[in-house]
Amino acid sequence: MLSYYSKMKQTKFYTGVLALAMIFLASCKNDLDVLAPGEETVSVYGVINPNEPVQNIRINKVYLTNGDALAAGQDANQINYGAGELKVTLQRFMTGSTTPTLTTVGNSTKKEIVLTETVVTTAGGDFNVNQRIWQTTDKLYNSGEYKLTITNISSGKEFTAQTLMVDSVKSYGGMPFIFAPPGYPVHCGSGSAGYVPASIPGTGTQQVAYVDYHVLTASPKIKFKSVPNAKLYNVIMRFHYIDSLTDGVTGIRNYVDMTFPSQRSSTMTGGEPLEVSFNTTDFYSNLANQIPKKTVGSIRNRTAHYMEYIIYACSENMDIFLQVNQPSTSIAQNKPNYTNISGGVGIFASISKTAMGKELWSDFIDEIATNQVTSSLQFVKRYTFICP
């Protein structure tokens, strides 16, 4: 199999096979001669998310060139389809059915979504920064299977792909991830902002209802359960804080992420307990390493705001695609290829996002201010809850 740069004069170059930029970068291989003589084909990158307000599908031409592949990649006409050249649609099917069902939450009759096209400007690189994508603002269901159909209007050629939808991780019956009985201090929750009484059913003491990582010898865990149709899970712990500047400017919101190794469920049925863990001292080291990189202006002080827990879940086909496209650790450069695009290359998959913010315990806030690793960051000690 040829790599991205052919050893021959004729270069095969696949566009649009990209890794997820925010969080995710084998076991399956689809053999496909994507550039068979006279055959039209496409490169597709579409990851739909029922939690997001806009869905984007990127579709490029797969091209041949006898010259410099990089120079050809900078030619927008070689990599992009023209305006009105493609029709791109989404249909939804329930398990085992061949009849399309409702596609759009809030619309009781719509059984097909026709995406609209637009040109966006991307970061510079091997390809022209002007890229044509197809979008919809229709709210997608978090269940069923969506089918993508790409039709070349002039030639009639069709390309299709399907993906099972992935729902978001749901409330967990115990600490510490999504646990929200009445009065639990979810960030900006109901009642007194972040406050809970001294004793609340299901939490024990008041203290354990808050995020508290002030014990330096502890190894906290973030627990959750898998959801149907999802294979790969990425967990992010996001610490939100507020910068106050010496020039009197206050209220500059910022955050630092702490990421964890990806988790994979053993089955696709859902309900499997999963977890990540960390040493508390690593949290403080992460703050010390990351916050100086984000500083804007001269800092008067900082306020610890709240903690946000984020879990991304992705479909099995996305997991396979990311594994196949990981950087090679071997001197052997021939890698398998994976695509679920019928007649093309690339990926059409589903992901979901779950996020919940939680208030911080006062001892934890004090430790951030006084810990020898983070004391130079100028965090203040105890404060009243700030919302939002």
Q: 15 lies in a domain?
A: yes
Predicted TM-score (pTM) of the model is: 0.80
- Flag whether pLDDT at 373 surpasses 90: yes
Length of the chain: 388
Domain count across the chain:
2
| Shared domain check, 233 and 358 | yes
93, 84 Cβ separation under 8 angstroms:
no
The DSSP result for 143-190, as a single string, is: SSEEEEEEEETTT--EEEEEEE--PPP---SSSSSS---TT--BTT-S
Give the residue among 140, 138, 46 at the shortest CA–CA distance from 86.
Answer: 46
- Flag whether pLDDT at 361 surpasses 70: yes
Give the residue among 307, 281, 303, 305 at the shortest CA–CA distance from 381.
Answer: 303
d(CA 106, CA 94): 17
d(CA 177, CA 170): 10
| Shared domain check, 307 and 225 | yes
- Flag whether pLDDT at 349 surpasses 70: yes
Span 5-48, pLDDT tens digits = 222 223 333 333 333 333 333 333 333 344 444 568 899 999 99
Q: 185 lies in a domain?
A: no
| Shared domain check, 19 and 116 | yes
pLDDT, residue 171, reads: 61
Q: Mean pLDDT across the stretch 276-286?
A: 96
Give the residue among 166, 93, 107 at the shortest CA–CA distance from 136.
Answer: 107
Tokens 């496209």 belong to: 325
| Shared domain check, 335 and 255 | no
| Shared domain check, 336 and 208 | no
Q: What tokens does 201 get? A: 């059913």
Span 248-264, pLDDT tens digits = 777 889 999 999 999 99
The pLDDT confidence band at residue 333, using thresholds 50, 70 and 90, is low
Q: Which residues have a Cβ under 8 Å from the Cβ of 121 and sit 6 or more positions away?
A: 129, 130, 131
Span 135-164, pLDDT tens digits = 999 999 999 999 999 999 999 999 999 999
What percent of the chain has a predicted confidence (pLDDT) above 90?
52
Find the helix packing angle between 280-294 and 362-370, rounded to 10°.
Answer: 60
Span 160-192, pLDDT tens digits = 999 999 998 876 655 555 555 555 667 776 544
| Shared domain check, 278 and 335 | no
The domain containing residue 33 runs over which residues? 11-165+316-350
- Flag whether pLDDT at 73 surpasses 90: no
Q: What tokens does 198 get? A: 């001294």
pLDDT, residue 31, reads: 38
Q: Mean pLDDT across the stretch 272-294?
A: 93
| Shared domain check, 230 and 321 | no
Hey, how many other C-beta atoms are within 10 angstroms of the C-beta on 233?
A: 23
- Flag whether pLDDT at 265 surpasses 50: yes
| Shared domain check, 226 and 85 | no
| Shared domain check, 154 and 16 | yes
Angle at 272 between CA 269 and CA 274, to 5 degrees: 135
d(CA 151, CA 157): 6
| Shared domain check, 212 and 86 | no
Give the residue among 377, 271, 277, 325 at the shortest CA–CA distance from 14.
Answer: 325
- Flag whether pLDDT at 285 surpasses 60: yes
| Shared domain check, 247 and 147 | no
**Cα-trace Rg, the chain:** 24
Poorest-pLDDT segment among 141-145, 210-214, 231-235, 377-381: 210-214
Q: What tokens does 15 get? A: 């566009």
Give the residue among 386, 388, 365, 359 at the shortest CA–CA distance from 377.
Answer: 365
pLDDT, residue 30, reads: 36
Which has more confidence, 63 or 159? 159
Q: What tokens does 251 get? A: 């209220």
